Amino acid sequence: GPGEAAMYAGLQELGVANGEDLKETLTNCTEPLKAIEQFQTENGVLLPSLQSALPFLDLHGTPRLEFHQSVFDELREKLLERVSAIASEGKAEERYKKLEELLEKSFSLVKMPSIQPVVMCVMKHLPKVPEKKLKLVMADKDLYKACAVEVKRQIWQDNQALFGDEVSPLLKQYILEKENVLFSNDISVLHNFFSPSPKTRRQGEVVQKLTQMIGKNVKLYDMVLQFLRTLFLRTRNVHYCTLRAELLMSLHDLEISEICSVDPCHKFTWCLDACIREKFVDNKRARELQGFLDGVKKGQEQVLGDLSMILCDPFAINTLALSTIRNLQELIGQDTLPRESPDLLLLLRMLSLGQGAWDMIDSQVFKEPKM
């Protein structure tokens, strides 16, 4: 069929005979058997030691196809190992040059199921796949599907809409999972909403998938944050705020400094995460958090929008509220006025920042609400 013709068309470009060539040979010859024999000799595995072994296999009733297939599979495994080895040894520019040459040679066969894994493996190891090849992959649904995530990242970073299509169902799934717990008829499920530790929560499927899709790519991370801000604005759904914090901390767990070092919320979120884990904001951490809030510089107030989103996460609010109650109880015990407690003032400051997240992002006025 035409699909098959396309699949093997690449062979001719490489000067390798395909079915069309055999058909032509047989159509224009007087002695078909001789022609077939000659075609086999010219296009078989060219090893002198094999010539005597093949008839021996024939005697055992092993079809030639089976023999060639097993040789082919063996060679493909070796080649895949070799590609991974090339990608990890020697100077960067040299190894990438080798891989680019290999891609140039093999790309025309990318539709051949037997060769496709090799082409995909070469692309996966190239930090920058040539633009032309990426466009060809993007234009073909099946090729795009078969690509490694390393290659997809290179496609996504210049195609926000396509990346959005991939991320969107994951975000929907995340919100659904949260709401299934909150709207559950089983009261014990609801009572345990705040029980899992932050580290356990970020092992969830959606966070893990997003983390993998982003890799170390700052551009993709920024796109996901942009999606989350937009959705939070559109829906007022605070679970997007939870996901914002979980995603950052999931990258933190993997020590992806490429992203953590450029997200201005990283240290604040990390400190708050420890408080959520302990379900309490202690003195030392309170001072640290206050330092981050007081350290927001002129001209960088926009950071407050992101910090407010992180404080709007129900798990953060829950921790701040629990700490506030404990603080008030202590003050009553000591006969002290609330306004004389710097710790309490900080907790209320963070609570009001969190509660004001939506208004701040909506109005784009980045200053802390008056206490």
Domain boundary among 111, 128, 145: 128
Overall number of domains in the chain: 2
Which of 83, 153, 73, 71 has the alpha carbon at shortest distance from 118?
83
**Does residue 273 share a domain with residue 180?**
yes
* Judgement on whether residues 233 and 272 belong to the same structural domain of the protein: yes
107 and 169 part of one domain: no
- Closest among 205, 212, 251, 238 to 317, alpha carbons compared: 238
- Domain assignment of residue 371, yes or no: no
Residue 14 lies in a domain: yes
Structure tokens at 60: 């055992």
Report yes or no: 79 and 116 within 8 Å, Cβ to Cβ: no
Query: Tokens at residue 252, please?
Result: 């933190």
Contact partners, residue 225, CB within 8 Å, separation at least 6? 244, 306
Q: Which residues of 154-192 are buried (b: 16+ CB within 10 A; e: fewer)?
A: bbbeeeeeebeeebeebbeebbeebeeeeeeeeeeeeee
Q: Is 101 part of a structural domain of the chain? A: yes
Between CA 248 and CA 267 the distance in angstroms is 10
321 in a structural domain: yes
225 with 307, same domain: the answer is yes
Q: Is residue 35 part of a domain?
A: no
252 and 122 assigned to the same domain: no
Residues 176 and 244 both lie in one domain: yes
**In this structure, is residue 151 part of a structural domain?**
no
**Cα Rg for the chain, rounded, in angstroms?**
30
Give the tens place of pLDDT for each residue, 189-208.
888 899 999 999 999 999 99
| SS3 of residue 164 by DSSP | helix
The predicted-structure confidence for 66-102, as pLDDT tens digits, reads as follows: 877 888 888 888 888 888 888 888 777 788 888 888 8
Say what the pTM is.
Answer: 0.84
Spell out the residues 6+ positions from residue 344 whose beta carbon is closer than 8 angstroms to its own.
324, 327, 328, 331, 338
- Whether 153 maps to a domain, the answer reads no
Residue 211 confidence (pLDDT): 98
One domain for residues 100 and 171: no
Contact between residue 350 and residue 309 where contact means Cβ atoms under 8 Å apart: no
Is residue 286 domain-shared with residue 164, that is, in the same domain? yes
Question: In terms of residue numbers, what domain contains 94?
Answer: 2-25+66-128
Query: Residue 290 corresponds to which tokens in the numbers above?
Result: 């206050």
Residue 50 lies in a domain: no
Same structural domain for residues 121 and 173? no
3-state secondary structure 275-286: HHHHCCCCHHHH
Assess whether 101 and 239 both reside in one domain.
no
Predicted confidence pLDDT, tens digits, the chain (371 residues): 555 565 666 666 666 667 777 777 777 778 877 877 777 777 666 666 776 777 777 788 888 778 778 888 888 888 888 888 888 887 777 888 888 888 888 888 788 888 888 888 889 988 899 999 899 999 999 989 999 999 999 999 999 999 999 999 999 999 999 999 999 888 888 888 999 999 999 999 999 999 999 999 999 999 999 999 999 999 999 999 999 999 999 999 999 999 999 999 999 999 999 999 999 999 999 999 999 999 998 888 899 999 999 999 999 999 999 999 999 999 999 999 998 999 999 999 999 999 999 999 999 999 988 87
